[in-house]
Structures are given as C-alpha cells and as structure tokens.
Structure 1
Amino acid sequence: MRLLFKQRLFSWFDSYDIYDEAGDTVYTVEGKLSWGHCLHILNAAGEHIGTVQERVLTFLPRFELYIRDQYVGSIQKRFTFFAPKFDIDCNGWQAEGDLLEWDYRVTEACGALVATVHKELFHWTDTYVIDVADPGNALCALMLVLAIDAEKCSRN
C-alpha cells in the first residue's frame, strides 16, 4: 500500500492530508494547540482514529502513539552522531534513516521490512511517500512518520 503524505500549505498548526495511490484522501491530520506537538488523525469520514502526542521535558524527543484513546506505544529518538535512529515501543519495530534524514526504513525485530519512507524534494511543503508492506500497518506507519517529521520540525 502506498500513501502520499502532504503538509498543507497555509496552516497555523501542523496539518496534513494523506492520499492513496488513486489520489483519494485516506487520512487527515490536524495539529492541536498543546505544549509539544499533538497531532490528531482522522479517517476519510472525519472520525478521530489516532493521536501522536509529544512528551516534553525528556532528554531525547519522545512521542506517544494512541489508536482512538488506547495507548499503543511510543517512539523515541536515539542518540547517534550520523544517521538518525528511533526506538519504537510499538509492534517491536525499529526505524533507521539516512544521513540527510529524507529516507527511512521501518523493520520488525527480525529484520522484515514493514515500511519505507521517502521524502520528495521540490515541493512547497513537506511531502513523503510511505510504502507499507501490510495495509493493516498503515495507521501505525503513518503515526511513526508524523512523529519523525515533528521531531525534525522541533529542531529547526
């Protein structure tokens, strides 16, 4: 399953539209006013289905992931000198990026590929392509990409 993740051009808070390969909106992401990033994920019908909430006052950036209101895990950046790495306490996944932080691989603990993320260049706003091996993992993969993008935004 392929998802196209595009940030909205004019928005006071983090807002994104996520499209499928046919160009249909699958998810909408709305940033909420809070201390740290708080991103609400809505399905195509406009129903709240997930949240990515940044935990503040931590040594390294950490985000908690919720499906509906149920805690499902977290993602925390590891201390590294070169390529970014994230520890994911959700499904036993790990995420590792390239040196420029444009491409990421999400893998299971056994090394099996869960998703790849590629940042497209030459767009007015942040645009990512997310390829998910199992469509059942699409929401969790999207939440990871949102957390990684929010972490990058916090640094800039």
Structure 2
Amino acid sequence: MKLLFKQRFFSWFDSYDIYNEDGQVIYQVEGKLSWGHKLVIYDQNGNEVGTVLEKVITLLPKFEIYKNNEYIGCLSKELSFFTPHYNIDYNGWHIDGTLTEWNYTIVDESYVTVAIIRKEIFNFTDTYVIDVKNPENVLDALMFVLAIDAEKCTRNKQQNY
C-alpha cells in the first residue's frame, strides 16, 4: 500500500495530509503546542488514532509512540556518522537512511523490508511516498516517518542558531 505524506503549505504548527493511492485523504496530522514536537494523527472520520511525542531532554533524539492514546514504545536515533539509523523498541524494526536523508528503509528483525520511504524533492513542502508492504503496518510506518521528519526539523532549527 502506498501513501503520499504531504505537509500543508500554510500552518502554524506542523500539519500534514496523508493520501492513499487513489488520492483520498486517509489520515490528517496536526501539530500541537508542546515542549518538543507533538503530532496527533486522525483517521478520515476524525478519530485520534496515534500520537508522536518528542522527548526533549535526551542525548540522542527519541520519540514516544502512542496508538489510541496508549503508549506502545519509542523510536530512537542511533549514533552514526554518515547515514541515519533508528531503532524501534516495541516491534523489532530498524530504520536505515541514505546519506542525503531523503530515502529510508524500514526492516524487521529478520531484515525483511517492511516499508520504503522516499522524499519527493521538487515540492514546496515536505512530501514523502511511503510504500508499506503489509497494510496492517501503515499507521506504524506513518508515525515513524513523522518522527524522522520532526527530528530533521529540530536539527535544522538548532543549526540555524
């Protein structure tokens, strides 16, 4: 199942629309006022289905993941020098990025591909295509992409100071 993750052009906080292959919005993501990034995911009926919450006092970036308001685990960035790597502590997945940080692969504990993420570079806002092999993993993959995008945004802001 493919998703198109597209940041809204005008929004005070981070806001995204997530489209399916037919161009229908299946999730909406709203940034909320918080210490660090807080992204709340709503399904097409307006029900809250997930939250990505940045932990701000950590050595390396970490994001708590919630499904249906229940904490399920954490995504954390690993120390690496050339390409980004992330671990997810609740399902054994691992995320590897490329040197440009435009493309990522999510693999399971057996290194079987769960999802492939690629950033569309010729857009005014952050836009990603997420190709998830199993539709049951769509929400998890989406939350991990949101966390990675938030981590890059935080890093870019820190570099500008």
Normalization by structure 1: what TM-score?
0.99
CA offset at residue 79 of structure 1?
0.7
C-alpha separation between the residues in 2 aligned to 1:147 and 1:66? 12
**Partner residue, 2:60:** 60
Residue 107 (structure 2) pairs with residue 107 (structure 1): yes
Amino acid paired to 1:50: G
Q: For this pair of structures, how many residues does the alignment match? A: 156
SS in 2 for 1:119: strand
Match of 1:10 in 2: 10
Quote the residue 1:19 is aligned against. Answer: 19
* 1:50 lines up with 2:50 in the alignment: yes
Distance 1:86 1:129 in 2: 19
CA deviation string 1:40-80 (max 9, x = no partner): 00000111110000011100000000001111111111111
TM-score (norm 2): 0.96
Q: Which residue of 2 aligns with 1:98?
A: 98
2: distance between equivalents of 1:26 and 1:139? Answer: 10
Q: What's the counterpart of residue 136 of structure 1?
A: 136
| Structure 2 Cα separation of the partners of residues 90 and 104 of structure 1 | 19
Q: What residue is the counterpart of 2:33 in the other structure? A: 33
How large is the RMSD of aligned CA atoms in angstroms? 0.5
Runs of 4+ in structure 1 over 3 Å off: none
CA distance in 1, matches of 2:150, 2:77: 12
| Separation (CA, whole Å) in 2 of partners of 1:7 and 1:89 | 27
Matched residues in 2 for 1:19 and 1:81: separation?
33
User: Quick one: percent identity of the two aligned structures?
Assistant: 57
Partner of 2:125, secondary structure, is coil
CA distance in 2, matches of 1:53, 1:89: 15
1:126 aligned partner: 126
The CA distance in 1 between the partners of 2:152 and 2:108, in whole Å, is 23
* 1:102-128 Cα shifts (integer Å, max 9, x gaps): 000000010111000000011010000
